[in-house]
Structure 1
Amino acid sequence: MSNDLKIERIELFKVPPRWLFVKITTKSGLVGWGEPVIEGKADTVAACVREMEQYLIGRGAHEIEDIWQVLYRGGFYRGGPILMSALSGIDQALWDIKGKHLNVPVYELLGGAVRQKMKMYCWIGGDHPEVVLEQAQEKVDAGYTAVKMNATGEMDWVSSVKEVKKVVENIKLIRQHFGDSLDVGLDFHGRVHKPMVKRLIDELSPFDPLFIEEPVLAENNDALGHIYRYSAIPIATGERMFSRWDFKEILHQGVVDIIQPDLSHAGGISEVRRIATMAEAYDITIAPHCPLGPISLASALHVDFVSANAFIQESSLGIHYNQGFDLLDYVKNPEVFDLKEGYIDLFDRPGLGVEMDEERLKEGQKIGHHWANPIWRNADGSFAEW
């Protein structure tokens, strides 16, 4: 590879609604884009990218695997949301550069596509029943055949019968309106503590959810075996797990059906591809988490295109976080994300295939953001998981 691929400059763009992009420029002027962010900690991840810069300037952008190993292992302390999210965005940008340099889509560099299109789903409300039908209809009209919604709002460690019955109303409304024509994933979002999981599953099972996501928080993954044996509904988790080492134990134990690593949190394209291959060895499927922007989504799709065990992909288009700025607003070629009968077609442009609108990014950077998780309280004033 030529010296023209030496990394010369790293720039960051913190833009609404809650995103951070990195632009890596080589000596030749070739540019790669990544999305290194953890929701609510954009400034912290940006500082981490800056700390990693010393390992990048002057390196060949094509040396993706060695750079990954140096960034992961070279700091002595490893893993976790901040370090891995910074590494994720850098890794995405390096794959983007390499694909552009060789004039091929990233999935070709990963071994070539195993599918010609990828099934998509989009998030809708679910905290409260009033918005469910309206938002579900919007997604169906847009071409989706699957959606995901929060199963609950805030919940006590042990909730009343009244609160449990309210949870059912959301998916019940959808089933009554759409029948079985719409697949519906239910996200417990780590809001539910172990004492309530079986009770909620009993109430929700008659409405045939596509999967149940994060029935417990990742730090309580030891409870997954208990839940897995209790329910026939596929169990999904993984958005708050950050490397193959985090996934190793649940894969080995066989207590999950679907894993959901995030391309902007779990080590980027390089690491999520490895995680997908590990999961395939255990006959477990992958459905990458993606409530973020266009680079994160494109990166997920490239992994999906080459992973035999990828079954569905999340998109944040129209998600409630994106008020005023949405997935396609910073993209010059939004057609790459066109939905056709519930699917996105295989990309054909080199690199990640997304042309970022730098002028819009600069405008957005002037606004910036200070997005943070809501803080919820139970009726007694105690903290409730969001």
Structure 2
Amino acid sequence: MLTGPSHRIRCPMKITKLSTFRVAPRWMFLKVETDEGIDGWGEPVVEGKSLSTEAAVHEFAPYLVGQDPMRINDLWQVMYRGGFYRGGPTLMSAIAGIDQALWDIKGKALGVPVYQLLGGLVRDKMKVYSWVGGDRPSDVIRDIKRLHERGFDTFKMNGSVEMGPLDNSAKVDAAIARIAEIREAFGNTIEFGIDFHGRIGLPMAKTMLRELEPHRPLFVEEPVLAEQDEHYARLAQHTSIPLAAGERMYSRFEFKRVFEAGGLAIVQPDPSHAGGISECLKIAAMAEAYDVALAPHCPLGPVALAACLHLDFVSHNAVLQEQSIGIHYNQGVEPLDYVLNPEDFVIQDGYMLPFTKPGLGVVMNEAHIREASLRAPDWRNPLWRHEDGSVAEW
């Protein structure tokens, strides 16, 4: 019988603590600690519902503390299936941030970036795009010029102000005129997607898509709300513009119905909302099987962006990556304010390179995060109303 220190069975690493930090502008970071001193970071948040998400994270803690963080698949299933009620933005966002932190721990423990644990790179760099124009799009030409000079050639903007189920031609003309100006100013030197944010219903969506066609946007996002996803296929039959959606869908079980029905050309799961890297990897593979492109949603912070990029770098159908540097929500703070390695987030000629550090590749500035969390704002999205006083989609 072999004895001695070199033949002792090594005890598995154990999770010891989960800590959450709500910070400006509307984000939340999660730190998962272990008994071996290896920490992982995640970004679980529902924008505007951070307190609910924070509570959900800590409700999962009893399932996690004392467990081996390397068993990501098992812990994911425990969190998802361990409760009778499951799914939805709050629970899946809580799982998402925890999942990100577990992958961060595993990569650090093994000394490799997460994408290596997922099979390795399928591309050398990832195309990213920038937001312009704000909630009610304005100054779009100015913003595009400024960012174009910095190397960006792909953008996204909100497509309209609030619109009723059957709205007037003046609003349609104003929205289309803005897009026409962009094409006139920049021609084909840039590309842009248009986000309807679910602000318009099916009747107006048909009209808007028809009027937009001559200007050839790269895609139209959320032409109708996610809960009206049965209309995606019908709308796709009436337009040549690629349709995109998915930021308000939270698991493969929701996405499967959309894939089966057809209509989407681009799917946009959010690794901070749709169950983390583990779940979004499955969604990406499902999308590839249906010949649907992947463009992960990410108007959030540095951990969320890193999680997206690891997914992009192992998914053959990934085409675009949203990022929030300079987005209109970032009042007085930017994603890189919370990291100690901003050099790893450099955007060069509209692309980002793979991280080289182990885990997610993000070195968080914990001291600053803790201090910032003491004055975290309770962010809420605007509440809009139509002229008749009824609530409008934001």
Short-chain TM bin: over 0.9
Instruction: Work out whether 1:38 is the aligned partner of 2:21.
Output: no
Check conservation: 1:3, 1:27, Cα contact below 8 A.
no
Distance 1:343 1:74 in 2: 40
Deviations 1:99-148 (CA, angstroms, capped at 9, x unpaired): 00000000000011100100000111165554111111222122211000
Instruction: State the TM-score, normalizing by the size of structure 1.
Output: 0.98
Of 270, 278, 288, which aligns to 2:278? 270
Contact 2:134 2:328 in 1 (8 A): no
Please list, as runs of the form range in 1=range in 2, the aligned pairs for 1:146-225 lying within 5 A after superposition.
146-225=154-233
CA distance in 2, matches of 1:164, 1:74: 48
What secondary structure does 1:215 align onto?
Answer: coil
* Greater C-alpha Rg: 2
Could you tell me which of 349, 359, 368 is aligned with 1:360?
368
Secondary structure class of the residue paired with 1:5: coil
State the one-letter code of the partner of 1:265: H
Distance across 1 between alignment mates of 2:137 and 2:229: 29
Q: Does 2:340 align with 1:332?
A: yes
- 2:212 partner amino acid: L
Q: Work out whether 1:312 is the aligned partner of 2:296.
A: no
Q: Deviations over 1:317-364 (max 9, x none)?
A: 111111111111101001111111110011111100010001110121
2:294–2:318 CA contact under 8 A, matched in 1: yes
Sort the Cα spacing of 1:49 and 1:129 in 2 relative to 1 into closer, same or farther, 3 A: closer
- Whether 1:144 and 2:148 are equivalent positions in the alignment is no
Distance 1:12 1:230 in 2: 46
**Would the alpha carbon gap of residues 187 and 284 (structure 1) be closer, same or farther in structure 2, given more than 3 Å must change?**
same
- Flag structure 2 segments of 5+ consecutive residues without an equivalent: 1-8
* 1:139 alignment partner AA: L
Aligned residue number for residue 268 of structure 2: 260
SS in structure 1 at match of 2:329: helix
> What residue is the counterpart of 1:18 in the other structure?
26
Q: Which residue of 2 aligns with 1:350?
A: 358
2:230–2:261 Cα contact (<8 Å) kept: no
| Shift in Å, 1:158 | 0.8
Residue of 63, 66, 72 corresponding to 2:80: 72
Which SS does the other structure have where 2:247 is aligned? Answer: coil
Q: Please give the residue correspondences for 1:16-165 in structure 2 after superposition, counting only pairs within 5 Å.
A: 16-125=24-133, 127-128=135-136, 130-165=138-173
After superposition, what is the alpha-carbon deviation per residue over 1:200-227, rounded to whole angstroms, capped at 9, x for unaligned?
A: 0111111110000000001100111110
Which residue of the partner structure matches residue 300 of structure 2? Answer: 292
Q: Which residue of 1 aligns with 2:5?
A: none
Count the aligned residue pairs.
386
Deviations 1:136-167 (A, max 9, x none): 12221222110000000111111101111000
Counterpart CA distance in 2 for 1:4 and 1:29 is 13
Structure 1 CA distance, aligned partners of 2:91 and 2:129? 28
Note the residue ranges of structure 1 that are not aligned, 5 or more in a row.
Answer: none
Q: Alignment partner of 2:316: what SS?
A: coil
Deviations 1:173-211 (A, max 9, x none): 211111111110000100011110111011111111000
> Percent of aligned positions with the same letter in both sequences?
52
